[in-house]
């Protein structure tokens, strides 16, 4: 095993440990857990089996193995960003609805108070 592999496996373990901690503490929603675990497991897998990259790159017809890494990670990141935009849109909609409800409820409350006083 080479030096770089040991370093990566070490860093990866730290990351995995940190993610596990976040999950245990309830700071990460379940839907994100899968994505993060799959990413770390993939990294772990290829740090043990270094040749795997070359094999895969050849299978896809990519000359330089690192390009496979870049391509696939850029793709994964883009998809993930899209997912975050969707989540963000939903949150914004929910906030708008809640804000409106609060304003209407405050007004109703005021009306009731005025009626009670009268």
Q: Which residues bind other proteins (CB under 8 A)?
A: 92, 95-96, 99-100, 102-104, 106-107
- Closest approach, Cβ 88 to other proteins, in A, equals 13
65: Cβ contacts below 8 Å, ≥ 6 apart = 53, 54, 56, 57
> How far is it, in rounded angstroms, from Cα 72 to Cα 70?
6
Nearer to other proteins, 55 or 104 (CB): 104
- Closest approach, Cβ 57 to other proteins, in A, equals 39
- Closest approach, Cβ 75 to other proteins, in A, equals 25
Nearer to other proteins, 54 or 112 (CB): 112
Nearer to other proteins, 88 or 100 (CB): 100
Per-residue DSSP letters for 42-94? HHHHHHH-THHHHHHHHHHT-SSHHHHHHHHHHHHHHHHHHHHHHHHHHHHHH
């Amino acid at each position: 095993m080479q030096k770089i592999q040991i370093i990566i496996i070490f860093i990866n373990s730290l990351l995995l440990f940190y993610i596990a901690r976040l999950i245990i503490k309830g700071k990460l929603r379940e839907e994100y857990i899968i994505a993060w675990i799959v990413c770390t497991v993939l990294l772990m897998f290829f740090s043990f089996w270094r040749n795997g990259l070359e094999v895969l790159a050849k299978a896809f017809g990519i000359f330089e193995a690192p390009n496979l890494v870049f391509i696939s990670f850029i793709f994964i990141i883009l998809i993930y960003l899209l997912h975050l935009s969707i989540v963000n849109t939903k949150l914004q909609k929910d906030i708008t609805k809640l804000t409106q409800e609060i304003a209407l409820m405050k007004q109703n409350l005021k009306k009731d108070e005025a009626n009670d006083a009268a």
